[in-house]
């Protein structure tokens, strides 16, 4: 009896109210996903089933800018001539000028005329003026460095100038080494001469490698690391890793990684600060080169026989699990590298300076190491199948980390200054909102709006409903009319009876 007394307006109001309440209920999961990157129900279940998750709060700035040392003036000139684009930004070149003044000058330069000329040359913005000043001070090691990097057009010519610089640099280094403890000025001069000598030897090793004398280059780098073990700012071990990979000497690569990988690095005091929750297994590798090389070595042991279908049926073996974990570790450190290695994004010439964990570091790594991944059979296939799974393991939002310090948000801004404007800077891969949540929220909102309009304007909405239904069924009515006109009336009568 009660149901018979209910009017159509009641059912319309009931439908609209239920849709509105459903939409409001969906607001909470939507807001929770936007904030934490995971489902509210899933997070509650995990929190109750795995209460041991969590960690210690800390601050961990990781934003450090380092020189990759692989810039080649002749290559950059050819790139500019062919494409008409400048590969280096003003910000990048300004950092290089600051590095030259820091490493190659000191307060005692006014005591030696050639050093005084070069001190002015490093501050000069005009390339021709710098080259002219270097020709005036050819008895100075830094003058040959400037000419090798800015005037030489071939690697052989650059090597010849670096060898001349080595003779002058060794002579200055021996003199300053004997006088370094006499005063603070002599100590500053010895420190500058040491930087110059290390820079020249490293550049000579790189010239040898590019000229095909890879074993000689590796030996030069090893000797340089033994002679100056405390000078890590030039990242000579990364150049050594690349040379050993080119020689396919994987045992020596593993030995270098054992020395440099896994050591926590103290972040600089002037970097951006992020607050995060992480596991106790946190440690920061020194670069993407170390992290991805370690992943390559572990992938090399299983990649030639790896098959996603077979792995899904039988599960991952211990070696495959180690390789996948190494890839996840590398991707969490720098998430931009896989798209360049898998050629999902085009490469450009790397800048002279790179930002750790940034897009610039990913470009520099892929530019020089893509050939090593292609040489290992199945390594890129394994990377393609597993790298995206990293983001399901990393807590959300970006202020949280899993194995490393959280990914710094400020890297995108710095990369836009380091990379040319024609390059689309990669940003940290963000989790997308599931389509089901968007569809359900839109459907509930649309239904609630229709119910509200029907309750307020029943006659007008009835007219709109009839017009909509007639328009919707118009194609079907047209087809039925055509069928009736083509078929005989008797046949159509029999079909309707059936």
Instruction: Give me the pLDDT at residue 399, please.
Output: 54
Instruction: Give me the pLDDT at residue 400, please.
Output: 64
- Among residues 406, 430, 454, which one ends one of the domains? 430
| Residue 1 burial class via C-beta count within 10 angstroms: exposed 0-12, middle 13-18, buried 19 and up | exposed
In a domain, 242, yes or no: no
Select from 203, 293, 202 the least CA-distant residue to 248.
Answer: 293
Instruction: Give me the pLDDT at residue 171, please.
Output: 87
In a domain, 239, yes or no: no
Q: Is the pLDDT of residue 53 over 50?
A: no
* Average confidence (pLDDT) over 190-215: 89
Percent of the chain with pLDDT over 70: 72
**Are 421 and 277 contained in the same domain?**
yes
Give the span between the Cα atoms of 140 and 171, in whole angstroms.
10
**Are 205 and 325 contained in the same domain?**
no
SS3 call for 93: helix
* 55 pLDDT tier (thresholds 50, 70, 90): very low
* Average confidence (pLDDT) over 132-149: 86
Percent of the chain with pLDDT over 90: 13
Instruction: Give me the pLDDT at residue 292, please.
Output: 92
**Are 405 and 474 contained in the same domain?**
no
Instruction: Give me the pLDDT at residue 215, please.
Output: 92
Location of structure tokens 């599931």: 434
**Are 165 and 207 contained in the same domain?**
yes
What total number of domains does the chain contain?
3
* 100 pLDDT tier (thresholds 50, 70, 90): confident
Instruction: Give me the pLDDT at residue 56, please.
Output: 30
Instruction: Give me the pLDDT at residue 267, please.
Output: 43
In a domain, 114, yes or no: yes
pLDDT digits (tens, 9 = 90+) for 206-249: 999 888 899 999 999 999 888 887 776 678 888 889 999 999 99
Q: Which residue has the higher pLDDT, 253 or 20?
A: 253
**Are 95 and 228 contained in the same domain?**
yes
* Average confidence (pLDDT) over 257-267: 64
Location of structure tokens 């209910």: 6
**Residue 486, CA atoms < 13 Å, CB-side half-sphere:** 6
Instruction: Give me the pLDDT at residue 365, please.
Output: 92
In contact, 426 and 345? CB cutoff 8 Å: yes
* 284 pLDDT tier (thresholds 50, 70, 90): low
pLDDT digits (tens, 9 = 90+) for 156-181: 999 999 999 999 888 888 887 777 77
Mean pLDDT of the chain, nearest integer: 76
Q: Is the pLDDT of residue 397 over 60?
A: no
Q: Is the pLDDT of residue 191 over 70?
A: yes
* 306 pLDDT tier (thresholds 50, 70, 90): confident
Q: Is the pLDDT of residue 396 over 70?
A: no
Backbone angles phi, psi at 187, to 5 degrees: -65, -40
What's the pTM value of the predicted model, to 2 decimals? 0.68
**Are 304 and 383 contained in the same domain?**
yes
Q: Which of 29-33, 175-179, 349-353 has the lowest mean pLDDT?
A: 29-33
**Are 322 and 362 contained in the same domain?**
yes
In a domain, 348, yes or no: yes
pLDDT digits (tens, 9 = 90+) for 354-387: 888 889 999 999 999 999 999 988 889 889 888 8
* Average confidence (pLDDT) over 387-405: 72
Question: What DSSP state is assigned to residue 399?
Answer: T
In a domain, 241, yes or no: no
Instruction: Give me the pLDDT at residue 232, please.
Output: 67
- Among residues 376, 406, 430, which one ends one of the domains? 430
* Average confidence (pLDDT) over 135-159: 87
- Among residues 234, 264, 280, which one ends one of the domains? 234
The H or E element that residue 353 is part of is strand 353-355
Give every CB contact of residue 288 below 8 A, 6+ residues apart in sequence. Answer: 330, 333, 334, 337, 356, 357, 361, 362, 365
Instruction: Give me the pLDDT at residue 410, please.
Output: 79
Instruction: Give me the pLDDT at residue 160, please.
Output: 92
* 497 pLDDT tier (thresholds 50, 70, 90): low
Instruction: Give me the pLDDT at residue 97, please.
Output: 81
Backbone angles phi, psi at 59, to 5 degrees: -115, 135
* 462 pLDDT tier (thresholds 50, 70, 90): confident
Location of structure tokens 């991944």: 373
Give the span between the Cα atoms of 21 and 362, in whole angstroms.
47
267, two tokens: 């972040």
In contact, 140 and 157? CB cutoff 8 Å: no
**Are 120 and 193 contained in the same domain?**
yes
Q: Which of 35-39, 91-95, 321-325 has the lowest mean pLDDT?
A: 35-39
Instruction: Give me the pLDDT at residue 278, please.
Output: 33
* 8 pLDDT tier (thresholds 50, 70, 90): low
**Are 224 and 83 contained in the same domain?**
yes
Buried b (16+ CB within 10 A) or exposed e, 172-193: bbeebeeebeeeeebebbbebb
Q: Is the pLDDT of residue 312 over 80?
A: no
pLDDT digits (tens, 9 = 90+) for 468-496: 878 878 887 778 777 767 766 666 566 66
**Are 411 and 447 contained in the same domain?**
no
In a domain, 245, yes or no: no
What is the domain extent for residue 420? 59-67+250-430
In a domain, 243, yes or no: no
**Are 300 and 408 contained in the same domain?**
yes
**Are 330 and 212 contained in the same domain?**
no
Give the span between the Cα atoms of 136 and 124, in whole angstroms.
14
Select from 249, 418, 438 the least CA-distant residue to 348.
Answer: 418
* Average confidence (pLDDT) over 262-283: 39
* 287 pLDDT tier (thresholds 50, 70, 90): confident
In a domain, 199, yes or no: yes
CA distances from 204 to 170, 211, 218, 226 (A): 14, 11, 11, 16
């Amino acid at each position: 009896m009660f149901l018979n007394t209910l009017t159509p307006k009641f059912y319309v109001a009931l439908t609209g109210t239920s849709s509105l309440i459903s939409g409001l209920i969906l607001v909470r999961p939507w807001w929770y996903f936007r904030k934490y990157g995971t489902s509210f129900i899933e997070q509650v279940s995990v929190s109750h089933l795995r209460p041991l998750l969590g960690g210690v709060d800390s601050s961990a700035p990781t934003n450090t800018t380092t020189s990759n040392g692989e810039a080649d003036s002749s290559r950059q000139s050819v790139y500019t001539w062919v494409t008409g684009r400048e590969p280096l930004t003003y910000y990048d070149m300004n950092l290089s000028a600051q590095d030259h003044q820091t490493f190659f000058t000191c307060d005692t330069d006014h005591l030696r005329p050639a050093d005084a000329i070069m001190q002015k040359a490093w501050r000069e913005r005009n390339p021709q003026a710098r080259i002219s000043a270097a020709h005036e001070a050819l008895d100075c090691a830094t003058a040959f460095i400037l000419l090798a990097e800015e005037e030489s057009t071939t690697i052989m010519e650059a090597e010849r100038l670096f060898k001349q610089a080595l003779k002058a640099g060794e002579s200055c280094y021996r003199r300053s080494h004997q006088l370094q403890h006499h005063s603070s000025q002599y100590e500053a001069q010895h420190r500058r001469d040491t930087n110059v000598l290390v820079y020249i030897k490293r550049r000579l090793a790189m010239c040898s490698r590019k000229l095909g004398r890879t074993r000689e280059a590796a030996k030069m780098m090893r000797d340089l690391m033994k002679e100056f073990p405390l000078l890590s700012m030039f990242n000579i071990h990364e150049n050594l890793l690349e040379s050993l990979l080119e020689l396919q000497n994987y045992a020596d690569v593993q030995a270098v990684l054992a020395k440099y990988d896994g050591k926590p690095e103290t972040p600089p005091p002037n970097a951006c600060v992020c607050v995060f929750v992480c596991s106790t297994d946190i440690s920061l590798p020194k670069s993407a080169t170390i992290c991805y090389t370690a992943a390559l070595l572990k992938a090399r042991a299983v990649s030639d026989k790896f098959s996603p279908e077979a792995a899904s049926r039988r599960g991952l073996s211990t070696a495959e699990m180690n390789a996948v974990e190494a890839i996840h570790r590398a991707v969490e450190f720098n998430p931009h590298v896989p798209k360049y290695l898998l050629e999902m994004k085009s490469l450009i010439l790397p800048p002279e300076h790179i930002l750790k964990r940034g897009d610039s570091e990913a470009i520099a790594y892929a530019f020089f190491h893509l050939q090593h991944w292609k040489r290992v059979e199945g390594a890129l296939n394994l990377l393609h199948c597993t790298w995206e799974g990293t983001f399901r393991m990393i807590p959300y939002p970006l202020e949280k980390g899993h194995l490393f310090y959280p990914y710094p948000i400020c890297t995108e801004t710095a990369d836009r200054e380091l990379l040319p404007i024609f390059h689309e800077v990669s940003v940290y891969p963000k989790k997308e909102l599931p389509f089901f949540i968007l569809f359900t929220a839109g459907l509930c909102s649309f239904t609630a709006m229709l119910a509200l309009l029907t309750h307020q304007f029943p006659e007008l909405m009835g007219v709109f409903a009839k017009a909509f239904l007639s328009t919707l069924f118009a194609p079907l009515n047209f087809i039925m009319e055509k069928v009736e006109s083509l078929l005989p009336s008797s046949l159509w009568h029999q079909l309707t009876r059936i």
